[in-house]
Chains A and B, each alone.
Chain A
Amino acid sequence: MLEVRDVGYIYQGKYQSIEALKRVNCHFAAGKFYAVTGPSGSGKSTLLSLLAGLDLPTSGEILVEGCTMAAMDRDKYRREVASVVYQSFNLFPLLTALENVMYPMELLHVSKATAAETAKRLIGEIGLGEKTYQQFPVMMSGGEQQRVSIARALAAGGKIILADEPTGNLDSANEENIVKIMKNLAHEKGYLVIVITHNPNVCEQADAVYRMRDGELRT
């Protein structure tokens, strides 16, 4: 479903530029649950962002079902196909948890009532109670924010879920629950799920594990 070919990426700063990825090649198939692991700064988040179409690789290309990302409407791709759980959650600070989860659905013109209903169901599934609905992100713990962010990624219904350390702030019970949800999505619904993690337990559950080091990928 996703094909990464000779991908390199350079962060172009004002004073220096950093080569975060060097010639990465890999393949991700639908219906599978992947884990990407590696030391801090090895380029995991960078790869994930490129898979989400936030930017085009500096060199090489990424294909989505055989179609190069460069020729696609990447906004539409993010709205409808790929959803991301960011390492730092990236929730709208001035929207409540419920509004945050409803946002991607509203972008797809789902009616407000349906969106609210789905959002509440998802918030329930990732283990948060009704009291979270009206909470703003600043009033939530890291783990709570993380789970709202997961709910938001699931809300759009896109077939690709990209999650950057989605269980990093969670206790083991919650971690298990999230991994179970992700695995289910891959195996039962045919989603492509890619999870970045430092956690060996999560790696164990994955169908395949990619290891990254200094911007390069090893299997």
Chain B
Amino acid sequence: MFHFRKVVLNISRHWAKSLLAVFSCMLIVVFLFLFFSGLLVNLQQMEALSEAIPIEARISNLNGTMSSGMIIQERVIQALEDSGYVTDLQYTSEIAAAMGEVSGDEAAKMERGDITFPLGLGVNRVEALTGASAEGFTFAEGAGSELLTGTESVCVIREQEMEELGLAVGDSIRVTLFSVTYPGDNAMKNYNRLGVYELRIVGSFRIPVSEIATRAAQMIFPVKWQREIQKQAGSTFFADSARFRVAKPLDLNSFKAEMDEVGLLPVISEANSSQHGIALTVNDETFIKTATRLRENITLTQILMPVIVVIVGFLGFVVSYLLLQSRRPEIAIMRSLGVSRRNCFGMLLFESAILVISGSLAGVIVASFFVDMDTVLGLGVGISFFVVYMAGTAVALKILGKFSVMQLLTALD
């Protein structure tokens, strides 16, 4: 108690120097906040980068010329679905659909390719249909695009066909489905009859004319349902297109390693054209550029960190030394009256601590006008500053306390 009262008294009697100490701490703290909030902003930007600059990837053939109508192994699709690095996976699978029950001769003809098939497409979500947003779709009341993500035997039919065939949403239709494969390494399709299926029409869709050329799907099914019926029919499932976003763009390298393990190759533009979807195109240029710049900023700041710690400690030392050196006689008098060296040191350190804390608080308040202050930043910077600065002060006090009381007091004589 005696100490505390004396300390407060000292602070007020030395008010000009106290103010100077508080003010210099405040300035340093404000600077530190500007510095560290800059770092924080960079870190936050880094974290938000995945959202701001999504990395899109798609499966293509080896020379990168195709993005649909390929043969993509089910194993690859499964690996993408299971991967923690893949999000928003959209994939489609071609399937041929004929209205009604087709069997025997007619089916054989169809399989030979004598009759052209309407194209059906299994999709894992609406967006997988190239160019189609959910806007082109009309669903039955109470139904929605989520039906396409499930395993129910439902379908969505193109408006044109709905009109031609006189169908309406809610109708059930019977269709004969054929799996599609590419036997040669070209666009030649092979059809294999899977069976007759009853499907409920849950909606219709319209694709802009410009898109028709690329993908003239007339009937859409949930791809998961398709996978199931193909499995039951003993037919091998292939996807014909797949694209997705990279879930953890900051782990781009781990992602690429995993894709490598799956067997997906980088695009080689000199390769021969092929139907096999075995390559991966990743649009990561912008992301890498931005991430590299941010990372450079962050690294620079982190390199500066120890320098700043040293500077703050040094400032703590210099400021305290200069402000307290005129108090040597005072210390000598205290010592001559029997105050121990430890108590002298403790009282002056305590006095400094109060000033430093006041300065830090003032600094936090001033800095909060310039930077977004949050508790973690405030406490982190405040406490670190206090510890480092006080370490400098302690060293200054240790040095200032190293004198002969006797010489100083007799020299005053």
A11–B404 CA distance with the chains assembled, in angstroms? 10
Inter-chain contacts of A95 with B (CB < 8 A): 9, 13
Known contacts A90-B412, A94-B13, A164-B413; decide if A11 and B340 are in contact (CB<8 Å): no
Q: Does B2 contact A (CB under 8 A)?
A: yes
Number of A-B contacts (CB under 8 A): 69
Shortest Cβ gap from B311 to chain A (Å): 31
The interface size of chain A toward B, counting residues with CB under 8 Å, comes to: 32
Q: Does A22 contact B (CB under 8 A)?
A: no
Best-buried of A76, A93, A94 by chain B (most CB within 10 Å)? A94
Known contacts A90-B333, A106-B2; decide if A75 and B406 are in contact (CB<8 Å): no
Q: Does B337 contact A (CB under 8 A)?
A: yes
**Size band of the interface chain B makes with A:** 20 to 34
Inter-chain contacts of A46 with B (CB < 8 A): 410
Q: Using a CB-CB cutoff of 8 Å, which residues 80-98 of chain A contact chain B?
A: 80, 84, 86-88, 90-95
Query: Would you call the interface of chain A mostly helix, strand, loop, or mixed?
Result: mixed
Inter-chain contacts of A79 with B (CB < 8 A): 337-339
Q: What residue in chain B is nearest A108 (Cβ atoms)?
A: B338
Shortest Cβ gap from B180 to chain A (Å): 96
Inter-chain contacts of A11 with B (CB < 8 A): 407
Query: Would you call the interface of chain B mostly helix, strand, loop, or mixed?
Result: helix
Candidates A76, A78, A84, A94; contact of B14 at CB < 8 Å: A94
Known contacts A94-B10, A109-B2; decide if A75 and B339 are in contact (CB<8 Å): yes
Q: Does B409 contact A (CB under 8 A)?
A: yes
Candidates A76, A80, A84, A109; contact of B336 at CB < 8 Å: A84
Assess whether B409 is in contact with A93, with CB atoms less than 8 Å apart.
no
Q: Using a CB-CB cutoff of 8 Å, which residues 94-134 of chain A contact chain B?
A: 94-95, 103-104, 106-107, 109
Shortest Cβ gap from A46 to chain B (Å): 7
Assess whether B409 is in contact with A49, with CB atoms less than 8 Å apart.
yes
Q: What residue in chain A is nearest B12 (Cβ atoms)?
A: A94
Q: Does B330 contact A (CB under 8 A)?
A: yes
Contact with A along B204-219 (1 / 0, CB 8 A): 0000000000000000
Binding site for A on B (CB under 8 A): 2, 6, 9-10, 13-14, 329-330, 332-333, 335-341, 404-407, 409-410, 412-413
Closest 8 CB pairs of A and B: A79-B338, A78-B338, A94-B13, A55-B406, A54-B406, A87-B413, A75-B340, A88-B412
